[in-house]
Structure 1
Amino acid sequence: MQNAPASIQKINENDLKTYLKNVDSIFQSISHRQLGRLFSMRDSYKFVDQLEEKALSSLTEEQQLKEKLTLLISYTKQLKEQVAKEISLKKCQNRRINIMGEINTL
């Protein structure tokens, strides 16, 4: 420490700890995952192409799942009507049956 410049010799332990905390926080923000992706996007066109392919595949998968969901909802509604008819005929002397619950929110 004696050979160090005067500006460094003036620094006390508390100042050094503060500097270390600041450097750590800057390092954490730089090494953050999202910022790393941005740097990769800036530096590599391959990385951007991979992200684009991944986004497109996610969109197509979402569309396929939405189609399946609408199909399942229609099948569920048909099944609800069939169950209501069967219960009405077999157990309730042909009276109208109203099935209640979350199935009606579809």
Structure 2
Amino acid sequence: MTDKTRPADVYLRFLNLVEAVRGLPALPTLDPLEERILALVARKAQQPSRLSVRDVMAMEALGSPATIHGRLKSMREKGWIRLADTEDARRKQIALTPAALKHFDKLSMCLMQAANAE
């Protein structure tokens, strides 16, 4: 980073690069609630415990269980998440699809590119 580069400049470059990535043909876009859910699933994927449909539906801050269920269904149809069986057949675990992981790879590349640009 040069003396004239502010941290905000790096972040703004990152946002511009992300916008360019979103313009590329890939997975269908998500609405703001679906993006929040995706970020939650992605953060949980980095931890030993995984997220179940029941866990997400219990999060009142995301909305009613019916709203959340509808968004999860939409995200599955769009190819962002998949549901996996657990030892309890009534509980489904939420996982990112390979296409969603590839999307996060692209975002990571945008972040590295923005940080390295001078």
Larger Rg: 1
Structure 1 or 2: larger helix share? 1
Q: TM-score, normalised by structure 2?
A: 0.24
Q: TM-score, normalised by structure 1?
A: 0.26
Structure 1 or 2: larger strand share? 2
